Amino acid sequence: MVKSSEYKDLESKYYMQVVNRMPPVLVRGSGSYVYDNENKSYLDFTAGWAVLNLGHSHPETTKAIQDQSSKIIQMSNLFFTTPQLGLAEIIVENSDIDRVFFCNSGAEANEGACKLARKWGKKKLGGAYEIITALDSFHGRTQAMMAATGQPHYQENWKPLMPGFVNVKYNSLSAIKEVFSKDKTCAVLLEPIQGEGGVNVPDDNYLESVMDFCKENNILFMLDEVQTGMGRLGKLFGYQRFKNIQPDVITLGKALGAGTPLGAFASKEYCSVLEPGDHGSTFGGNALTTAAGKAAANYMVKNNIPSLALETGIYLTKKLESLKSKYDFIIEIRGMGLLIGMEMNKDISSEIVKICLEKGLLLNAVRPNMLRFMPPLNVSKKEIDIAIKILDESISKTIN
């Protein structure tokens, strides 16, 4: 058996040091659990950063990948491939969206959506090009998306930032109105719930008021559903948890490919302004990833997995609220579905995550004072009970 230290030596020698890795060397997964090279099990409440919404090695997606890999994996988008069209149909038929383009990641999806918005501005608004985004947002790590992401620590080393993005306070229509320009603004891009920014849930009327403002000014209302899409909030698409919302454009990634690299941006018919030659991707929408995505999406719809996420999300929230009652430094439990944050008035989240890891639970310290919970959507209540027990023990050990 290869020792963990040998893997880590290889990583330090050959891999760019851009990630502060956790100690385990993970080699396989099943359901809500992953296993390291010494066969220690870990209950995974990160799900690959909200990617594995059906858990690890789900039979439906595994079979789809195996079957597709024996047929055709990749072809140019000059030709028709059937899994791509099947997944597009599922997305369109279960949303308010009309057309889909597949790419390789959430960041690419947001890039494509912003290209669409800029062409909208050019064709419909006399050359408007600016896109309003929110502070504490996260839209990706490409050059353009770092400018869209309203978090200074992601931007500082890459200044001057790419022009064309204005970051304003989240959950504030007045902040959008203050920077809106009839000559410059072509779109607003928001997350229905900010995930990486701290699981920030907007007021009930925020998204609707922004949507109405966009319609009044003929600018595009775009929602980044990279983390909130594909059932995470208790509906197939996160915006469906909010009354009366119909976005012009949505972006998808993470869970869309069920663990394979897949993203998408999708739009209403009237703003689908991109034409042949305007956009493309060599690997975008390839047969293998869209076969996995189609199998996962089909399984979710047929088995009502988003409703299951809603139910178990309520259960997990109640369990976390019980910890809040026990520990007075836990100040808020917030979120929706199975995207939940636990905020504290102490900067101890990293230490809690470390102890949880030792005890066999994977968590994310999204902020120094905040934990984020993103388990698979089919996580069981028994597994939630196990996670809460480990978390309780870890908190107790951290503060004593």
**Domain locations in the chain as residue ranges:** 4-55+311-399, 72-302
Strand partners, 44: 362
C-alpha 339/C-alpha 377 separation (Å) is 10
C-alpha 253/C-alpha 265 separation (Å) is 9
Place of tokens 């978390």: 391
Topology alike, domains 4-55+311-399 and 72-302: no
C-alpha 197/C-alpha 180 separation (Å) is 23
- Residue 7 is predicted with a pLDDT of 87
- The mean pLDDT of the chain is 97
- Residue 349 is predicted with a pLDDT of 98
CATH number for the segment(s) 4-55+311-399: 3.90.1150.10
Model confidence band, residue 4 (pLDDT cutoffs 50, 70, 90): confident
Does the pLDDT value for residue 290 go beyond 80?
Answer: yes
Nearest to 41 by CA among 393, 383, 352, 395: 383
C-alpha 324/C-alpha 326 separation (Å) is 5
- Residue 2 is predicted with a pLDDT of 73
Element (H, E) at 63: helix 59-69
Tell me what the mean pLDDT of segment 127-139 comes to: 98
Query: Tell me, which fold does domain 72-302 have in CATH?
Result: Aspartate Aminotransferase; domain 2 (3.40.640)
Among 13-22, 242-251, 262-271, the minimum mean pLDDT is found in 13-22
Listed in order, strand segments (DSSP E) in 255-309 are 263-267
C-alpha 201/C-alpha 191 separation (Å) is 10
Model confidence band, residue 390 (pLDDT cutoffs 50, 70, 90): very high
Model confidence band, residue 67 (pLDDT cutoffs 50, 70, 90): very high
Q: Is the peptide bond before 160 cis (omega within 30 degrees of 0)?
A: yes
Place of tokens 């639970």: 361
The 10 Å Cβ neighbour count of residue 155 is: 16
Does the pLDDT value for residue 248 go beyond 90?
Answer: yes
DSSP 239-269: GGGSTT---SEEEE-GGGGTTS--EEEEE-G
C-alpha 238/C-alpha 274 separation (Å) is 25
What number of CA atoms fall less than 13 Å from residue 3's CA on the CB side? 3
Percent of the chain with pLDDT over 90: 94
Among 3-17, 123-137, 175-189, 382-396, the minimum mean pLDDT is found in 3-17
Tell me what the mean pLDDT of segment 375-395 comes to: 98
Residue 21's identity, in one-letter code, is R
- Residue 395 is predicted with a pLDDT of 98
Does the pLDDT value for residue 1 go beyond 70?
Answer: no
Model confidence band, residue 262 (pLDDT cutoffs 50, 70, 90): very high
C-alpha 363/C-alpha 373 separation (Å) is 7
Model confidence band, residue 326 (pLDDT cutoffs 50, 70, 90): very high
Global confidence as pTM = 0.96
Model confidence band, residue 40 (pLDDT cutoffs 50, 70, 90): very high
